[in-house]
């Protein structure tokens, strides 16, 4: 299969997974399948497959920015890098929802955070952690009043 087609399929599946995560009326029921089967098995499997297929065809390594640029000049390694983002961001999104439910964070407050996590993983995670901290302080303040 060519990397461009795999890219399109992986993006479609991942986008659908994010929509299910955000819109599901019972988010706890979808977390495990998304985390294990989509992020864990499917996307991680495609990642490993892309690395294996691209191995020996690419120049470069992870020792410098220029070497990484050379490595990602190979479509299979570029695809693997993209799949890496998709898999980890989806995993992180499922964690944010699961933790948010445990912490009593309103699911509607999570929607923009999940969108940010989907597009810019670490920025979404940072915003989630700030929201979580604020929620804990408010909850603690309410309990002591």
Q: List the structure tokens of 71.
A: 């490595």
36-89 pLDDT, tens per residue? 999 999 999 999 999 999 887 888 889 999 999 999 999 999 999 999 999 999
For the chain, what percent of residues have pLDDT higher than 90? 86
Question: Residue 81 belongs to what domain range?
Answer: 3-144
50-62 pLDDT, tens per residue? 999 988 788 888 9
81-122 pLDDT, tens per residue? 999 999 999 999 999 999 999 999 999 999 999 999 999 999
Residue with tokens 């920025």: 123
**Which CA distances in Å does 141 have to 23, 100, 118, 135?**
31, 18, 32, 10
**SS3 for 134?**
helix
Q: List the structure tokens of 101.
A: 């439910």
pTM of the model: 0.91
What is the tally of structural domains in the chain? 1
């Amino acid at each position: 299969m060519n990397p461009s087609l795999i890219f399109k399929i992986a993006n479609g599946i991942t986008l659908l997974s994010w929509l299910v995560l955000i819109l599901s009326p019972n988010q706890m029921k979808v977390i495990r399948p998304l985390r294990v089967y989509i992020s864990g098995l499917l996307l991680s499997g495609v990642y490993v497959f892309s690395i294996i297929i691209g191995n020996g065809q690419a120049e470069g390594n992870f020792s410098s920015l220029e070497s990484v640029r050379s490595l990602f000049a190979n479509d299979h390694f570029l695809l693997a890098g993209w799949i890496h983002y998709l898999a980890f961001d989806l995993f992180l999104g499922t964690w944010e929802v699961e933790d948010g439910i445990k912490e009593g964070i309103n699911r509607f407050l999570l929607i923009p955070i999940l969108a940010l996590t989907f597009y810019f993983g670490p920025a979404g995670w940072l915003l989630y952690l700030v929201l979580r901290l604020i929620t804990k302080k408010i909850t603690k303040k309410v309990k002591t009043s």
